[in-house]
Structure formats: C-alpha cells, structure tokens
Amino acid sequence: MEISPAVADVRPTPWTGRFDGDGDEHRRWWQAVAPHTPDMAARGATEAVSRPAVVVGFRSDEGVRRNKGRIGAAAAPEAIRQALGPLAFHLDRDVFDAGDVVVEEGSLEAGQERAGRVISELLDAGKLTVLLGGGHETAFASYLGVAGSEAVTSGKRLGVLNLDAHFDLRDEPAPSSGTPFLQMARAEAAERRELNYAVVGISEPNNTRTLFNTADRLGVKYLLDEDCSAERVQEFVARFLDTVDVLYLTIDLDVLPASVAPGVSAPAAYGVPLPVISAVCKQLAASGKLLHLDVAELNPEFDIDSRTAKVAARLVNTLLA
C-alpha cells in the first residue's frame, strides 16, 4: 500500500528580496530557495555538493500562551524568511521551502505530531531539516521528527544541544514552551534510552531550584551564561559532540542579550554574546553531525528593526554554510 507523503498545512509562498541581477554572482537567498513539493522528497542534490536543506515553518503561539509568556511567535517563520530573503547566497547546497505547519489554539500536540511526520520524512530522504518556530514548544515537534527518523531508530546516538537561557524542563499538566525537554526525557525513557541533553547559556536567576534539580536528576550537561567564554563553550560543545552520532540543535533566541535579541517572549538581561553563539554554529556545521536544527521564540511583535529576526537569519545562514 502506498503511504501518502506528509505535507505541511500551508504551501510555501515566493520569497522576496533585493534584485541585483539573475547571474550566480548576484544570487541572494530569495533567488536560491525553491518550493519543496512532496514528490521531491526522495530527490537528491543537483550540482551542489552538500546535503540539501529544507525549511519548514511551525506557526505556533500555543506553547508560549500556555507558559504565560508574551505571545506572537506564530508570526516568526514569515519574519525569518523575510530576513533571510535578501541575504547574499554563498551556500554550497540546495535550499527548499516546504511551507508551514499551523497550530490552532488548543491543538498544539496535533501540530507537533504533524510537523514531526514532515521532518522524519525529509530526514529519511537525506535532507538537512530546519524548523522555524514558534515558541520553544517547537522543540518537541523537532524531537518527534528526529526520534522518528531512520537515523535514530536504527540506533545512532542522538544528542540534543539547546542554546537557551532556560532549561525548559517544567513538569506541567499540559505541554508548553516550558516543557519540551522533560517531554523528550520521558519519551526517550519509554524507548529505554536516556536523553542526552546539553544546554549552553543557562541564566541561574531565571531557572528555579526545582529546574536545576530536574536537570541534575536527568544528567543534563549545562554551562551558565556567565561561564560562556568562547573557549569554555568550544570545549563544552566538543566534549558533547564526542558523545553523539547525530545532533539536533535548537536555538532559543533568548540565549542572546536583550540588546541583540529584543524580540522574544523573555528577553535576557545577561545573555551569551552573539560571536560566541555564532562560533558554536560554525563548530557544529563543521562537525558533520548536524541532523536537524530549529530556531525558536522569535516574537516579531516585540522586535526592534527586525534585529532578532536578522540574527536568527544570520545564524541559519551560518549553520547551512
């Protein structure tokens, strides 16, 4: 029996940006990105050398709403595409847009499952997947996709690296943007595995003792924001990479200082400097272990001059380069 491919809820719309000419030397992201159609799922790269990347949006406010935050992240996928569109395209890979999964109020879990199925299929077709959130409930959608992929079900060791001021290990009656990594730990335990979870940028005053206790009980490795010198982070990430075969990277933009990333639900008073976060992205891209990535918590409503969206776009560009 033929199983129909998983598709996003909303088809991709054309990207826009500055036009300098049609030649390769003028190429920007908006000219390079092509719509991804279900029948392309199994198609490999064209002339590009690296694994093709596929962008998927996760339009969700529901996790932040449930977590009592400032809603508006559902508009983030569009804002990040708008910030990526005009950037000069120097990548050695094809990039496709598969459209958006749309989370209706109250139906977060179903949206996470839909996005998970789309991600798993793309991963199994050899793509590097990029999920644009949404609040950090996006991470559980990513996890479902990654955990359902052949790479992980065939036994490759998965590592989850979170760049975030928060653990997001809350124990709540309903999933939210504050719970995804506890949900992952429980899902991994159900598969008789342990979640291999590391966080860079934890703000001590913004995580309660309960959250630190949960992190310790689960064996979470973390670096506090105040300890995030370039050297410490590089060494921490290198040690973590040694323990994994495939990596899922999740960037919560509130890991950055509020001056760099004001457009988030919970801006960081301290934050990890952008050059340090950018260096991590380069380190991960060079590792060859990156399976999937997402960017979460952009809230365009609170952004200033698209500053946060532009940082998100820049980091995605770095990770795919």
Ligand X SMILES: N=CN[C@@H](CCC(=O)O)C(=O)O
* Interacting residue ranges for ligand X, rule: CB under 6 A: 67, 69, 136, 166, 168, 170, 177-178, 206, 266
Least distance (Å) from ligand X to the CB of residue 228?
18
Least distance (Å) from ligand X to the CB of residue 185?
16
| Distance separating alpha carbons of residues 225 and 277, to the nearest angstrom | 11
CB atoms near residue 49 (< 10 Å): 7
Partner residues linked to 248 by β-bridges: 160, 292
Strands (DSSP E) contained in the chain are: 34-35, 53-59, 95-102, 128-133, 158-163, 197-202, 221-224, 246-252, 290-296
**288 upstream amide cis, omega within 30 of 0:** no
With respect to ligand X, which residue has the nearer C-beta, 31 or 179? 179
With respect to ligand X, which residue has the nearer C-beta, 30 or 222? 222
From the annotation, which residues make up the binding site? Answer: 136, 164, 166, 168, 252, 254
CA geometry: angle 100, 285, 79, nearest 5 deg: 30
CB 46 within 8 A of CB 128: no
With respect to ligand X, which residue has the nearer C-beta, 52 or 69? 69
* Partner that binds at residue 206, options Mn ion, ligand X, none, CB closer than 5 to 8 Å by kind: ligand X
CB 50 within 8 A of CB 285: no
* Partner that binds at residue 178, options ligand X, Mn ion, none, CB closer than 5 to 8 Å by kind: ligand X
With respect to ligand X, which residue has the nearer C-beta, 12 or 134? 134
CB 247 within 8 A of CB 284: yes
* Partner that binds at residue 67, options ligand X, Mn ion, none, CB closer than 5 to 8 Å by kind: ligand X
Which position's Cβ is nearest ligand X? 178
Least distance (Å) from Mn ion to the CB of residue 254?
4
From the annotation, which residues make up the binding site for Mn(2+)? Answer: 136, 164, 166, 168, 252, 254
Least distance (Å) from ligand X to the CB of residue 260?
18
Per DSSP, 9 falls in state S
Q: Which residues bind Mn ion (CB under 5 A)?
A: 136, 164-166, 168, 252, 254
